[in-house]
């Protein structure tokens, strides 16, 4: 089923204020919730944070008092929605368990978007980020065991593989290298716009979560791992947001934010089995249709434009979650050595010039060792191998993937070597429980 969101009225803004009882609901059960209900809940929190934050920035640059007032009214609702969604997280879900959920969002969402992206350049960018978040999931999975004794599949439920990706120590770039070519707002499809707005929101919230929670652990090596990966998420926000046409007017961006909320809530509602979450997605879809009406009236009134020129006439599906193991394995085997060429394009490690701008950054940040490498050194010391949930064939490729995926220049002094991985894969993969 598809529909034209511009023809739906939704719930009017004045009926969107709720009681505290409605705003703060009973959390889900972390043991029985479907992993993709959790990923939807994590993503929609990011979508709401972005909507709220964008509207504050909008107001700070807007001299028109009427517009500021209209935006203030719906911004309050975005904030209440954010509380409802984020606080479905149960108190007993640890920071590392939630972290595995965040990286599962990043991997499986990015893979879905890449396969549903009409613009080849944007797709290539999604594939680039995919292998980095995939490696984060591998590093954090080691810590989830070392700190809480949990198996990655307690959270991932067998839907997402855990194995080495593009090594995290190589994700640190000169920020200028991460700046890409933006789409053209006149010719880009609404699907491309919504795909990017969705992923920017997810990555930004991932950054925020690590920045706000990494220090809640006492272990220094884990704190440093959060610090390292948090900074990569900052790079991901820089990379994905640079794809957005900066010539979009503030009201056009407002319309695109509301449209993205409509599409993501609709996709969540369509897929959801969890009763409370499904009710939330349904109600908030109706709220967002109300917000979209307001934004489209503003575009007509202030810019004399037809909103359909910007967002089209049908809803798109930017966040369907399902297992993406086959797609991710294919990208992993083909693109582990892919790198930014510094001019908005992509290249491979062997083509990089010796003065590639990111080498200088890597030399500094990894100068006293990379925490993401220390992570593997520690698990290997404890268990004589690493924690991996991929099938045996993929797991046995770890040394080869590392050999192809690791840069020779500016390597961290504590890099776990190909030879060490060759020893690790001889041992049955460590899992906290007999599976």
Give me the residues that bind Fe ion (CB under 5 A), please: 48, 51, 78, 81, 106, 133, 136, 203, 233, 236, 258, 261, 288, 291
CB of 416 to Fe ion, least distance (A): 19
CB of 75 to Fe ion, least distance (A): 9
- The nearer residue to Fe ion, 28 or 210, going by C-beta atoms, is 210
CB of 296 to Fe ion, least distance (A): 12
CB of 206 to Fe ion, least distance (A): 5
- The nearer residue to Fe ion, 233 or 407, going by C-beta atoms, is 233
Residue indicated by tokens 């920017």:
200
CB of 5 to Fe ion, least distance (A): 12
CB of 265 to Fe ion, least distance (A): 8
- The nearer residue to Fe ion, 77 or 383, going by C-beta atoms, is 77
- CA dist., res. 422 & res. 417, Å (int): 9
- The nearer residue to Fe ion, 127 or 203, going by C-beta atoms, is 203
CB of 138 to Fe ion, least distance (A): 11
- The nearer residue to Fe ion, 70 or 425, going by C-beta atoms, is 70
- The nearer residue to Fe ion, 47 or 416, going by C-beta atoms, is 47
- The nearer residue to Fe ion, 100 or 425, going by C-beta atoms, is 100
Q: What's the alpha-carbon Rg for the chain, to the nearest Å?
A: 22
Closest by CA position to 162, among listed 379, 414, 363: 379
């Amino acid at each position: 089923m598809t529909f034209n969101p511009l023809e739906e009225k939704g719930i009017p803004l004045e009926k969107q204020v709720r009681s505290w009882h409605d705003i703060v609901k009973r959390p889900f059960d972390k043991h029985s919730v479907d992993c993709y209900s959790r990923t939807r809940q994590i993503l929609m929190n990011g979508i709401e944070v972005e909507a709220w934050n964008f509207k504050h920035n909008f107001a700070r640059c807007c001299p028109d008092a009427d517009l500021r007032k209209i935006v203030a009214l719906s911004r309050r609702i975005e904030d209440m929605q954010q509380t409802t969604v984020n606080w479905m997280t149960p108190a007993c879900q640890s920071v590392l368990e939630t972290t595995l959920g965040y990286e599962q969002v990043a991997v499986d969402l990015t893979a879905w978007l890449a396969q549903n992206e009409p613009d080849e350049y944007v797709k290539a960018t999604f594939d680039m980020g995919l292998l980095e978040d995939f490696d984060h999931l591998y590093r954090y999975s080691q810590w989830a065991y070392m700190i809480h004794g949990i198996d990655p599949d307690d959270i991932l439920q067998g839907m997402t593989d855990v194995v080495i990706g593009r090594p995290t120590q190589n994700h640190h770039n000169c920020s200028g290298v991460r700046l890409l070519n933006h789409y053209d707002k006149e010719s880009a499809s609404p699907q491309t716009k919504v795909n990017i707005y969705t992923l920017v929101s997810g990555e930004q919230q991932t950054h925020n979560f690590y920045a706000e929670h990494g220090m809640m652990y006492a272990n220094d090596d884990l704190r440093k791992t959060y610090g390292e990966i948090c900074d990569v998420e900052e790079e991901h926000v820089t990379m994905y947001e640079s794809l957005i046409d900066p010539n979009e007017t503030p009201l056009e961006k407002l319309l695109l934010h509301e449209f993205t909320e409509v599409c993501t809530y609709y996709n969540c509602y369509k897929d959801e089995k969890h009763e409370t979450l499904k009710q939330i997605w349904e109600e908030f879809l109706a709220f967002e249709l109300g917000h979209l009406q307001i934004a489209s009236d503003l575009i007509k009134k202030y810019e004399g434009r037809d909103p359909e020129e910007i967002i089209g006439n049908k809803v798109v599906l930017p966040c369907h979650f399902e297992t993406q193991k086959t797609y991710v394995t294919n990208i992993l085997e083909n693109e582990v050595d892919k790198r930014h060429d510094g001019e908005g394009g992509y290249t491979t490690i062997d083509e990089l010039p010796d003065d590639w701008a990111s080498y200088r950054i890597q030399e500094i940040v990894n100068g006293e060792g990379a925490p993401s490498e220390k992570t593997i050194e520690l698990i290997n010391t404890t268990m004589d191998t690493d924690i991996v949930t991929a099938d045996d064939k993929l797991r046995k490729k770890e040394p080869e993937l590392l050999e192809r995926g690791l840069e020779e220049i500016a390597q961290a002094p504590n890099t776990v070597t190909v030879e060490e991985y060759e020893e690790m894969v001889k041992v049955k993969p460590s899992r906290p429980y007999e599976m």
